[in-house]
Amino acid sequence: MPPLRCLYLYPVLLARHISSKRGLWRCRFCFIIASLISLGTGCSDKQPLNPSLSAVDTPPIPTESAPNTYTATPPQQIAASIQAVDSASSIGLSRFTYSERIMATDFKLILYAAKPETADQAAKAAIQRIQAINAIFSDYDDDAELFKLSKQAGAGPIAISPELIQLLQTCSVLHEQSQGAFDPTLGPLSVLWRQAQWAKALPSPEQIESRLSVVGMQRLKFDLAKQTVTLPLKRMRLDLGGIAKGAAADEGLRILAQHGITSALIDAGGDLAMAAPPPGETGWRVGIEDAAISTRRFSHCGVASSGASQRFVEANGLRYSHILDPRTGLGVTHGWQVTVIASNGTLADGWASALSVLGKEQGLIAAKAAKVENIWTQAAYTSDKTPATQGSSDE
């Protein structure tokens, strides 16, 4: 695909990137159209990009330029695409797209730069940083820091990297603000429910209770001065699948900024992190599914969606989602899907995970207290399998 391509369409209901390796699988139902049709501005253009993650500068990978692998522009949008290219070219910037498979999903970078070599160098550095973040946050890679930390549960204080301790601190705040709905210690439940989905049978109450006995963010003990964390119980296991992609996307944007790229968007399998908008525009155009499809403009923020998909265990007339409530040990049955707009990709990803556990009624309360914008859509099925399409929002 040519480097100058303006419109990017992200399909409705894109599956979450973690496939069978995450307890908080989620179904994406937002799409992005990056064009230059003027609409209202979304998030504030003064918001920081996850300042908690520390900087680790690494040189670009000496490989060939990343390919432009985005889907071709739909015919009905060609006119808008041409308009966008002309606008960018008029101020000396061109649009470049890159894609790399990381975290079991496609990380897609859209950026504007004056020269191809500038874009290539920045993209390579950002992709390398995202890969480094995955090597820290992965819970299924034997060599990843998080995986090794879980293996040392019950062994006392363990020194960890600044990136990991800072993201766990963010998780701790989310855990408190969401009344425990967001909890990265749900790893033992994630494993149990993956087995249940394969067997197409609910876990027994005894199995669930056994796992719940080692779940709880409040059990973790941090020593920020020594940069250590203690997992006090031997069977504890961490799973950052509900927040890691957003954090990785934020870090990618930070590296792009270090290379002078200010207009950029990173799509981490449906979790969006946005810097400045395309040249001359008020924001990146994002379509969000509610009762219909609404289109808004966003910049300097994150947008993420979460909700039930076709991954579930059915029993006694109920569909237990792959989305797990760490407080009960059960898959949620409410069927709601939610889109969250937050100041960065990390918080958007984390809050989308938390609200999809809480459901609409409790989620609206928690989101309002945290001042997080959220838009709700009823899934194609509810706990009694009756169709529902109601949509609503809270800002």
Is the pLDDT at 30 greater than 70? The verdict is no
For residues 266 and 253, what is the distance between their CA atoms, to the nearest angstrom? 7
Range in 58-62, 234-238, 300-304 the model is least confident about: 58-62
Three-state secondary-structure class, residue 183: coil
DSSP 8-state secondary structure symbol assigned to residue 42: -
User: In this structure, which amino acid lies at residue 97?
Assistant: T
- Listed in sequence order, the DSSP H helices in 224-341 are 244-258
Q: How confident is the model at residue 346 (pLDDT cuts 50, 70, 90)?
A: very high
Rounded percentage of the chain residues whose pLDDT exceeds 70: 70
Is the pLDDT at 347 greater than 90? The verdict is yes
Is the pLDDT at 200 greater than 90? The verdict is no
Q: How confident is the model at residue 140 (pLDDT cuts 50, 70, 90)?
A: confident
DSSP sequence for 371-383: T-EEEEEE-S--T
Q: How confident is the model at residue 82 (pLDDT cuts 50, 70, 90)?
A: very low
Backbone angles phi, psi at 324, to 5 degrees: -100, 140
Is the pLDDT at 90 greater than 80? The verdict is no
For residues 21 and 18, what is the distance between their CA atoms, to the nearest angstrom? 5
Domains and CATH numbers, the chain: 14-139+249-304 (no CATH), 153-243+307-394 (3.10.520.10)
Is the pLDDT at 43 greater than 70? The verdict is no
Instruction: Measure CA 95 to chain center.
Output: 24
Three-state secondary-structure class, residue 165: helix
Q: What is residue 193's predicted lDDT score, i.e. its pLDDT?
A: 87
Is the pLDDT at 135 greater than 50? The verdict is yes
Token digits for 259? Answer: 């290379």
For residues 339 and 360, what is the distance between their CA atoms, to the nearest angstrom? 11
Three-state secondary-structure class, residue 79: helix
Is the pLDDT at 177 greater than 90? The verdict is yes
Token digits for 13? Answer: 């209901």
Q: Which residue has the higher pLDDT, 230 or 56?
A: 230
Q: What is the pLDDT of residues 240-285, one digit of tens each?
A: 999 999 999 999 999 999 999 999 999 999 899 999 999 999 999 9
Q: What is residue 290's predicted lDDT score, i.e. its pLDDT?
A: 66
